[in-house]
Amino acid sequence: MKVRSFFQPKVVSVRPWDTLRQAASLMQEGGFSCLPVLLEEDLVGIITERDLAQAIAHGEDMTTRTVFDCMSEKPITLSPDDDAAEAATQMLSAGCRHLPVVEDGKLVGIVSARDLLIFVATPERV
């Protein structure tokens, strides 16, 4: 089955110049564990809970350090037409739990390991 069958199309994002505190607040409020980083409409990175935890562990000032300072640049992406197996393979090889979904160069959603597990474990899927 294709990624388009189970990816999450509603994505909250941050900008590179947003502070780490702003990113952390958005994650906490929305229950997200990562946020795509957009510059205008272009995906330029992704920031995760792990990135924020490392910043805290290193004593970074969450009110002045920016998302750009801590994000992962050029994240691995999926296409809506990629197979679920490709999503799983990419997550495993990269050691990540989320992958942005990009179509025609634009962010259209995100896939989490949880989305993938639910999709695979749901017997009534078509």
In CATH, what number is assigned to the domain containing residue 69?
A: 3.10.580.10
User: What percent of the chain shows pLDDT beyond 90?
Assistant: 81
Does 41 map to a domain?
A: yes
Q: How many H-runs (helices) and E-runs (strands) does the chain carry?
A: 5, 5
Residue 37 pairs in a beta bridge with: 14, 45
Does 45 map to a domain?
A: yes
Does 75 map to a domain?
A: yes
- Which of 33-48 are b and which e, b meaning 16 or more Cβ less than 10 Å from the residue's Cβ? ebbbbbeeeebbbbbb
Does 22 map to a domain?
A: yes
Does 74 map to a domain?
A: yes
Does 77 map to a domain?
A: yes
**pTM given for the model:** 0.88
Does 126 map to a domain?
A: no
pLDDT digits over 76-86, tens only? 999 999 999 99
How many domains would you assign to the chain?
Answer: 1
| Ramachandran bin of 63, using left for φ above 0, alpha for ψ from -120 to 50, beta for the remaining angles | alpha
User: Residue 110: is its pLDDT beyond 70?
Assistant: yes
DSSP state of 82: S
pLDDT the model gives residue 125: 55
- Distance of alpha carbon 123 from alpha carbon 119, whole angstroms: 8
User: Residue 126: is its pLDDT beyond 60?
Assistant: no
Give Cβ neighbours of residue 116 (< 8 Å, ≥ 6 apart). 6, 84, 87, 88, 91
pLDDT the model gives residue 123: 65
User: Residue 37: is its pLDDT beyond 60?
Assistant: yes
Domain that holds residue 56: 3-121
Residue found under tokens 């597990």: 117
